[in-house]
């Protein structure tokens, strides 16, 4: 299995690069339609609401609410196999709840993703983004409960 | 017009098992030859093909193995389990418009003994960049996220999902060809099964199967001279909704209103068969929650009522809408939903092992949660 790329490493291409650059700087960035002002996610070369005007990038508050969550159990791929079960959340952003970012919920900053118990997770709970440097110079957003 | 212009006149399949020795190519050819034999049509008459983009054997290989004639139409449909009825629909359009005369659709897959696609040596890409790095790796993980939200919004419970798993298992128990033919399933076993991805357990997931299936489509006039009772393709639709993101459909206005809704609109547009006229349905069941979502999308109940629809034995033989009467993907075989097509044909021939008395109309759907397809079949 060591020949397999680590699924925790995202593909950074010209569409996703500004998002991950934002994470490195501790900012949650998403695209915005330059004509309608609507948020666009996942990032792409065109705005579906104004395809002739290139989308811009904006930094959002990093606050949102848990829209749903799932708890994968093994068998999975490394490095997730060894860590399961863990909680994966979909977070609806405060600025636009139809943008639901997938991520991991942590009980405390610096915790491993498997530390939180599923019973502690509730749909609708407010969360905020923090950032965690993983391997290869890549930083991913994580989520912690607010309050 | 497509309506009743073509018919499925032959079906064929290999046996189903966790492991079969022949290659996917050999299995595909065997299923296709069985379907042609069922129809009473010689392989040399085949001039059209349709299959899935995920199919590993291409038309050239099939044609040279079975001894097809000069082929004038070939088509492949994307999105895995979303393709099934789409293959038949593309052939129906091709036959109805004169692009070919004898069309063969097929799917051959060794998912039982072969690779798990989600475990492949692929780096996160496109949509996966936004989900895999956080451990949402398998199709079941992606659907579990939608399922939890569905439960939250509509008060659906694991009891409802169990209703689906048990109804389909009972159909498999009556079908000697089903992998789960001899394995009964109780509600207690369902409730105590191991988790795959909460809130989904082992019995919410389809089987892992080796096998192949095929069917043959010809014009309605030709169908009347074939060996078997014709099963007409009454209507057909495909669906790719606005701002849809396949199984990770978390970035649109309404993730619980999936491709079935778009597909259904087209399916019923030219149809004389309404949801209330459907005698039996073969609904794509890679995961149990796809059934309530499909019941809503294809108009058998209102939005949010799909879970309640599974109550009172509604999905069982003798109920309001018997589904997946061969055992479906959950309990007969999981070959990307092609067994649902062949079972739809058997119902309208009157030869199912869970025969719905006097069935004259059948809905067959493909995967909800990916760009999808569906068809309404009818007997004469």
β-pairing, B200-201 vs B195-198, is antiparallel
Within an 8 Å CB–CB cutoff, is residue A107 touching chain B? no
Q: How far apart are CA B277 and CA B378, in angstroms?
A: 11
Q: How far apart are CA B243 and CA B260, in angstroms?
A: 14
Residue A4 lies in a domain: no
- Domain total for chain A? 2
Residue B149 three-state SS: helix
Task: Tokens for A4, please give them.
Answer: 């397999």
8 A C-beta contact, residue B232 and residue B378: yes
Pairwise CB contact (< 8 Å): B124 & A10 = yes
Choose among B121, B135, B198: nearest Cβ to A118.
B198
Q: What is the CATH number of the domain that holds A125?
A: 2.40.50
Within an 8 Å CB–CB cutoff, is residue B122 touching chain A? yes
- B211-265 pLDDT, tens per residue? 999 999 999 999 999 999 999 999 999 999 999 999 999 999 999 999 999 999 9
Measured from the Cβ of residue B80, the count of other Cβ atoms closer than 10 Å reads 21
Q: How far apart are CA A124 and CA B239, in angstroms?
A: 31
Choose among A9, A90, A98: nearest Cβ to B124.
A9
8 A C-beta contact, residue B325 and residue B356: yes
CA-nearest of B97, B168, B109, B166 to B322 is B168
Pairwise CB contact (< 8 Å): B135 & A80 = yes
Q: What is the enclosing helix (H) or strand (E) of A47?
A: none
Tell me: do A47 and A71 sit in the same domain.
no
Within an 8 Å CB–CB cutoff, is residue A85 touching chain B? yes
Pairwise CB contact (< 8 Å): A140 & B134 = yes
Q: Known catalytic residues of B?
A: 284, 334
Choose among B126, B137, B253: nearest Cβ to A7.
B137
Tell me: do A19 and A51 sit in the same domain.
yes
Q: How far apart are CA A94 and CA A65, in angstroms?
A: 7
Residue B50 three-state SS: strand
Q: Which distant-in-sequence residues (6+ apart) come within 8 Å of A134 by Cβ? A: A8, A9, A140
pLDDT for residue A4 is more than 80: no
In sign, the C-alpha dihedral spanning B215, B221, B222, B227 is positive
B270 class by beta-carbon count within 10 Å (0-12 exposed, 13-18 middle, 19+ buried): middle
Residue A6 lies in a domain: no
pLDDT value at residue B114: 86
Tell me: do A38 and A48 sit in the same domain.
yes
Tell me: do A18 and A37 sit in the same domain.
yes
Residue B10 three-state SS: strand
Within an 8 Å CB–CB cutoff, is residue B137 touching chain A? yes
Tell me: do A118 and A86 sit in the same domain.
yes
Q: Which distant-in-sequence residues (6+ apart) come within 8 Å of B201 by Cβ? A: B158, B190, B193, B194, B195
The residue whose two tokens read 């999902």 is B161
The model's confidence at residue A2, banded by pLDDT at 50, 70 and 90, is very low
Q: What is the CATH number of the domain that holds B331?
A: 3.40.47.10
Structural domain for A47, as ranges: 11-60
CB < 8 Å to B197, chain A? 70-73
Residue B282 lies in a domain: yes
Residues written for chain B: 380
Model-level pTM? 0.97
Residue A128 lies in a domain: yes
Tell me: do A47 and A65 sit in the same domain.
no
8 A C-beta contact, residue B217 and residue B8: yes
Tell me: do A38 and A102 sit in the same domain.
no
8 A C-beta contact, residue A129 and residue A142: yes
What strands lie across the sheet with B231-239, from one edge to the other?
Answer: B73-77, B48-52, B103-110, B210-219, B6-13, B231-239, B372-378, B361-365, B280-282
Mean pLDDT of B138-156: 98
Tell me: do A27 and A72 sit in the same domain.
no
Residue B342 lies in a domain: yes
Mean pLDDT of B43-63: 97
What is the ipTM, given to two decimal places? 0.96
8 A C-beta contact, residue A70 and residue B138: no
CB < 8 Å to B243, chain A? 48
Pairwise CB contact (< 8 Å): B144 & A70 = yes
Q: What percent of chain B has pLDDT over 70?
A: 98
The model's confidence at residue B121, banded by pLDDT at 50, 70 and 90, is low
Q: How far apart are CA B342 and CA B349, in angstroms?
A: 11
Residue B85 three-state SS: helix
Give the CA dihedral A105, A108, A111, A116, nearest 10 degrees: -50
Q: Which distant-in-sequence residues (6+ apart) come within 8 Å of B311 by Cβ? A: B160, B163
Tell me: do A127 and A79 sit in the same domain.
yes
pLDDT value at residue A1: 41
Name residues 306-335 of chain B within 8 A of A (Cβ): none
Structural domain for B306, as ranges: 6-113+207-378
In angstroms, how far is CA B152 from the centroid of its own chain?
27
The model's confidence at residue B127, banded by pLDDT at 50, 70 and 90, is confident
Residue B163 lies in a domain: no
CB < 8 Å to B245, chain A? 42
Q: Mean pLDDT in chain B?
A: 96
Name residues 63-82 of chain B within 8 A of A (Cβ): none
Q: How far apart are CA A19 and CA A28, in angstroms?
A: 7
- Domain total for chain B? 1
């Amino acid at each position: 299995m060591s020949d397999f790329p680590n699924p925790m490493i995202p593909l950074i291409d010209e569409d996703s690069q500004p998002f991950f650059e934002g994470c490195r700087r501790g900012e949650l960035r998403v695209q915005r339609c330059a004509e309608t002002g609507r948020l666009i996610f996942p990032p792409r070369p065109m705005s579906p609401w104004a395809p002739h005007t290139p989308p811009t990038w904006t930094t959002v508050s990093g606050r949102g609410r848990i829209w749903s969550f799932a708890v994968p159990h093994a068998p999975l791929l490394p490095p997730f196999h060894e860590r399961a079960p863990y909680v994966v959340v979909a977070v609806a952003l405060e600025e636009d709840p139809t943008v639901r970012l997938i991520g991991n919920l942590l009980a405390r900053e610096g915790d491993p993703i498997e530390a939180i118990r599923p019973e502690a997770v509730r749909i609708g709970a407010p969360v905020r983004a923090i950032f965690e440097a993983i391997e290869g110079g890549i930083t991913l957003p994580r989520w912690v409960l607010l309050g | 017009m497509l309506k009743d212009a073509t018919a499925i006149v032959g079906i064929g399949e290999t046996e189903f098992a966790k492991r079969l020795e022949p290659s996917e190519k050999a299995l595909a050819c065997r299923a296709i030859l069985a379907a042609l034999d069922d129809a009473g049509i010689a392989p040399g008459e085949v001039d059209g093909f349709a299959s899935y983009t995920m199919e590993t054997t291409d038309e050239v290989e099939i044609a040279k193995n079975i001894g097809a004639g000069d082929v004038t139409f070939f088509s492949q449909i994307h999105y895995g389990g979303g393709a099934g009825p789409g293959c038949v629909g593309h052939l129906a359009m091709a036959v109805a418009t004169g692009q070919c005369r004898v069309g063969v659709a097929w799917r051959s897959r060794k998912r039982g003994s072969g690779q798990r696609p989600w475990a492949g040596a692929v780096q996160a890409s496109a949509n996966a960049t936004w989900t895999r790095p956080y451990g949402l790796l398998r199709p079941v993980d992606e659907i579990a996220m939608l399922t939890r939200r569905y439960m939250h919004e509509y008060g659906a419970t694991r009891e409802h999902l169990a209703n689906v798993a048990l109804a389909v298992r009972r159909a498999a128990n009556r079908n000697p060809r089903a992998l789960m033919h001899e394995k009964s399933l109780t509600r207690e076993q369902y409730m105590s099964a191991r988790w795959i991805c909460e809130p989904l357990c082992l019995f919410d997931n389809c089987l892992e199967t080796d096998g192949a299936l095929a069917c043959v489509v010809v014009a309605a006039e030709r169908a009347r001279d074939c060996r078997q009772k014709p099963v007409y393709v009454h209507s057909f639709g495909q669906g790719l909704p606005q701002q849809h993101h396949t199984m990770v459909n978390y970035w649109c206005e309404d993730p619980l209103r999936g491709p079935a809704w778009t597909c259904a609109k087209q399916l019923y547009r030219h149809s004389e068969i309404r949801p209330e006229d459907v005698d039996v349905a073969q609904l794509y069941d890679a995961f149990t929650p796809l059934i309530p979502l499909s019941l809503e999308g294809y108009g058998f109940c209102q939005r949010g009522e799909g879970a309640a629809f599974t109550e009172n034995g509604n999905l069982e033989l003798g109920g309001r809408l018997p589904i997946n009467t061969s055992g479906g993907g959950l309990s007969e075989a999981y070959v990307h939903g092609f067994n649902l097509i062949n079972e739809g044909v058997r119902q309208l021939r009157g030869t199912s092992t869970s025969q719905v008395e006097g069935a004259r109309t059948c809905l067959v759907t493909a995967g909800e949660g990916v760009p999808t397809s569906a068809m309404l079949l009818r007997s004469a």
